Amino acid sequence: MKPWHKISVNLFSVLVLMAGLAAGLDAADRAYPPPLETAALVSSEVVDSDGQLLRAFATREGRWRLKTNLGDVDPRLVEMLVAYEDQRFFQHSGVDILAMGRAALQLVGNGRVVSGASTLSMQVARLIEPRPARSLSAKVLQLIRAIQIERRMSKQQILELYLTHAPYGGNLEGVRAASLAYFGKEPRRLTVAEAALLVALPQSPEARRPDRHAGAAETARDRVLSRPAVAAVTGHGEAERAAGEPVPRRRQQLPAHAAHVAEAAIRIQPGAPVHRTTLKMTVQRALEQVAREVAETLDPKVSLAMVMADASTGDIVAEVGSAGYFDASRSGWIDMTRVNRSPGSTLKPFIYGLALEQGLVSQETIIEDRPANFFGYRPKNFDMSYQGDVSVREALQLSLNVPAVRLLDAVGPSRLMVRLRRAEVHPVLPTHEAPGLAIGLGGVGMSLKDLVQAYAALANRGQPVRLGNGIEEQPGVIGGEPLFEPPAVWNVVDILSDVLPPQGSRRLGIAYKTGTSYGYRDAWSIGFDGQHVLGVWVGRPDNGAVPGISGYQTAAPILFDAFARSGVVPVALPNPPAGALRLSQSDLPMSQRRFSTSENGLISASRREPAPQIVYPPEGARVDLSMGEKGELMPLVLKLQGGRAPFRWLANGQPLEAVSRRRSSEWLPDGAGHATLTVIDADGHAASVRIFVE
């Protein structure tokens, strides 16, 4: 055989052997891949609307291991890590041959290990597949795994694995958990000293824990700072300045905000690594601080809850379910924002809204606050005293019970329930009972979230809004009819905005209402500006009585304190809509100057004529206006039966120009859309219809 032919055969054989070896290695690599799936096991996180960590949950092994991306970390820390641990990280493919040769020579020359040769890729292999003891076989496996990892992942992904899994003492893993525990902050902005400490700890995490071995931690940190490669990253003089900074000597608790929302998020999506909420960290933290401070002043069995929502979107921006989640004496694990309790007087604004919309009263209408009997139901005021004749404005501001029941009797309890359902609020009535007058004073069951949702419609200019639950429920404006017509909403808000704040609180430009349930079991306060609604409940989770509590004395100061410290930007209450005026008593039509009732609490029936009834247009009619000969819109004819003249007509709560003694009148609508027509006779009897003008 010729020499060149023999060389060709040998070369071919070598190539075949190498190809076979490569194929075998590739097959082995595929058959025994690195356990990257275990690297994906991280702590579950609950974050606010901006992605800030509200609460983390430990892994099944009890470790705090927070997923870390390069964008979560100060870039200088990453540069220092590479400079200290693996300077050729971006050049090698998992194994640094030069570093291994250097380490071997140092071992031979000194008889001991002087420096290691583990690359960051090899350290990642050890972290995701730990071995019980160090041995040659374990080291070889790390080397192989490092090469496998490099084949599957980018350098950036390998760095992120290290930053997520590096040990920091105890059950802390990853730089985010360590930064939060030792510095109380996310690692996005670290000092040079802080970054150097986080680089140093993983080499010997237990021996260098700063909360237990501060001296060892400081020495290790300074060793990192003194490395020339690290000094090139930090800059001239930074190492000396950083060396004078003390190391933290205690471990802080990781963020644990919004306990009830966080627990609910985990129940809803138990396997998700990140749970996003609509909460805002700054607001949530402020309200929780208020709750902690208030709890110290309350009886050990008394708790409180708060909900703040954005009335324009329905987003819950903060929620405090109890005075303390782990407070057993207060049953802190119970989320009191969702529990049905008696709302006390907090539904009164909605009664007044109906009466104002129907034209039964105006703000300065005189109404009686005297003992009354409504077929056996005898409401009494909270302080057991009576004011006599008061204006409607004063009656609501003073939260007088008898005037509210008089108006509820006039508008009808069922109609109040229908309006609340427009806001998708469903009060719970006693079993098999129809709505009665007692609902006006708290004779139904409602949750704090329900009340906040109802008041959100007032803050949102009458348009109902659905609150989310902070997690998966979609909030948003509820389509359909408004809760009340804009003039009625504005009048209610105008009255509530002028209620004096509780003693010791300053005015905040909010409208608010308080309530106390029967037997001193619940104290409520709900307030709002032009965008935000905050509700406060105080009471015992076991529904026991709390002598001395009240909405005004107990819950309202918490409301004002929480609103002031929440950090939300105040939004002015809405301006009056077109046609909404606060008329003086002398400027009111005669039929609205006094809300007349008889001794039994009903609108007086001592009249010859029956109550008026609108016969045209009928309830629910869709009216198409006709055009005149010159193309102008023709007014709509209004007709009624019964009642005693003179008659006052109102369209959407606004009086028409003149009082008429005739049983027909005319009205020219401003435009298309829903409209409420009301007629009031001389005795104060009223009738209303809802129509749609096309």
Of the given ranges (82-96, 128-142, 170-184, 297-311), which has the lowest mean pLDDT?
Answer: 128-142
Whether pLDDT at 206 is above 90: yes
Which token pair is 590? 């005669």
Task: Compute the average pLDDT of residues 205-231.
Answer: 94
Which token pair is 306? 């708060």
**Is 345 in the active site?**
yes
Q: In the 8-state DSSP scheme, what is residue 547?
A: T
The CA distance from 529 to 146, in Å, is: 59
Whether pLDDT at 251 is above 90: yes
Which token pair is 473? 């429920």
Q: How far is CA 408 from CA 250, 275, 412, 490, in A?
A: 60, 44, 6, 19
Task: Compute the average pLDDT of residues 664-680.
Answer: 86
Query: Which stretch, 14-23, 301-310, 324-333, 385-394, has highest mean pLDDT?
Result: 301-310
Give the model's pLDDT for residue 117: 64
The CA distance from 325 to 333, in Å, is: 5
Task: Compute the average pLDDT of residues 300-313.
Answer: 96
Residue 275 and residue 237 in contact, taking contact as beta carbons nearer than 8 Å: no
Query: Which stretch, 91-95, 323-327, 469-473, 655-659, has highest mean pLDDT?
Result: 323-327
Helix axes 486-496, 348-357, angle to 10 degrees: 140
The C-alpha R_g of the chain, in whole angstroms, comes to 37
The predicted-structure confidence for 32-85, as pLDDT tens digits, reads as follows 677 777 777 899 999 999 999 999 999 988 999 999 999 999 999 999 999 999
Task: Compute the average pLDDT of residues 20-30.
Answer: 53
Which token pair is 352? 């007044």
Give the model's pLDDT for residue 114: 41
Per the prediction, the chain carries an average pLDDT of: 87
Whether pLDDT at 599 is above 70: no
Give the model's pLDDT for residue 458: 97
Of the given ranges (145-149, 595-599, 676-680), which has the lowest mean pLDDT?
Answer: 595-599
The predicted-structure confidence for 440-499, as pLDDT tens digits, reads as follows 999 999 999 999 999 999 999 999 999 988 887 788 888 888 999 999 999 999 999 999
Of the given ranges (61-70, 190-199, 293-302, 597-606), which has the lowest mean pLDDT?
Answer: 597-606
Of the given ranges (556-565, 601-610, 674-683), which has the lowest mean pLDDT?
Answer: 601-610
Q: Which of 421, 616, 391, 342 is nearest to 494 (CA)?
A: 391
Burial of 163 (0-12, 13-18, 19+ CB in 10 A): buried
Give the model's pLDDT for residue 17: 52
Give the model's pLDDT for residue 338: 96
Between 394 and 653, the more confident residue is 394
Which token pair is 647? 């008659």
Q: Which of 329, 302, 312, 256 is nearest to 536 (CA)?
A: 302
Amino acid residing at 277: T
Of the given ranges (37-41, 125-129, 334-338, 592-596), which has the lowest mean pLDDT?
Answer: 37-41
The CA distance from 227 to 247, in Å, is: 19
The CA distance from 646 to 660, in Å, is: 5
Burial of 631 (0-12, 13-18, 19+ CB in 10 A): exposed
Whether pLDDT at 375 is above 90: no
> What sign results for the dihedral spanned by CA atoms 113, 114, 119, 125?
positive
Between 662 and 444, the more confident residue is 444
Whether pLDDT at 601 is above 60: no
Q: How far is CA 647 from CA 411, 490, 591, 657, in A?
A: 19, 25, 8, 12
Give the model's pLDDT for residue 607: 38
Task: Compute the average pLDDT of residues 553-574.
Answer: 95
Give the model's pLDDT for residue 560: 97
Query: Which stretch, 120-134, 493-507, 596-610, has highest mean pLDDT?
Result: 493-507
Query: Which stretch, 125-139, 395-409, 419-433, has highest mean pLDDT?
Result: 395-409
Helix (H) or strand (E) holding 99: helix 97-110
Q: In the 8-state DSSP scheme, what is residue 201?
A: G
Whether pLDDT at 220 is above 60: yes
Give the model's pLDDT for residue 99: 57
Task: Compute the average pLDDT of residues 650-654.
Answer: 84
Residue 182 and residue 252 in contact, taking contact as beta carbons nearer than 8 Å: yes
Share of the chain above pLDDT 70, in %: 89
The CA distance from 551 to 517, in Å, is: 9
The CA distance from 629 to 421, in Å, is: 44
Whether pLDDT at 274 is above 80: yes
Place of tokens 């704040």: 501
Give the model's pLDDT for residue 350: 98
Q: Which of 420, 291, 290, 305 is nearest to 351 (CA)?
A: 420
Whether pLDDT at 652 is above 50: yes
Task: Compute the average pLDDT of residues 133-161.
Answer: 83
Whether pLDDT at 102 is above 70: no
The three-point CA angle 368-365-691 to 5° equals: 115
The predicted-structure confidence for 497-536, as pLDDT tens digits, reads as follows 999 999 999 999 999 999 999 999 999 999 999 999 999 9
Selecting among 303, 322, 342, 345, the annotated active-site residue is 345
Task: Compute the average pLDDT of residues 241-267.
Answer: 93
The CA distance from 276 to 595, in Å, is: 52
The CA distance from 100 to 119, in Å, is: 10
Task: Compute the average pLDDT of residues 13-32.
Answer: 53
Task: Compute the average pLDDT of residues 113-137.
Answer: 74
Of the given ranges (31-35, 298-302, 425-429, 596-600), which has the lowest mean pLDDT?
Answer: 596-600
Would you place residue 585 in the very low, low, confident or very high pLDDT band (cuts 50, 70, 90)?
confident
Would you place residue 365 in the very low, low, confident or very high pLDDT band (cuts 50, 70, 90)?
very high
Whether pLDDT at 432 is above 80: no
Give the model's pLDDT for residue 1: 55
**Sequence-separated (6 or more) residues with CB below 8 Å from residue 99:** 88, 115, 117, 119
Q: Helical H runs in 427-551? A: 448-459, 486-496
The CA distance from 210 to 219, in Å, is: 11
The CA distance from 85 to 70, in Å, is: 17
Of the given ranges (110-114, 127-131, 574-578), which has the lowest mean pLDDT?
Answer: 110-114
The CA distance from 676 to 394, in Å, is: 26
Selecting among 43, 44, 85, 186, the annotated active-site residue is 85
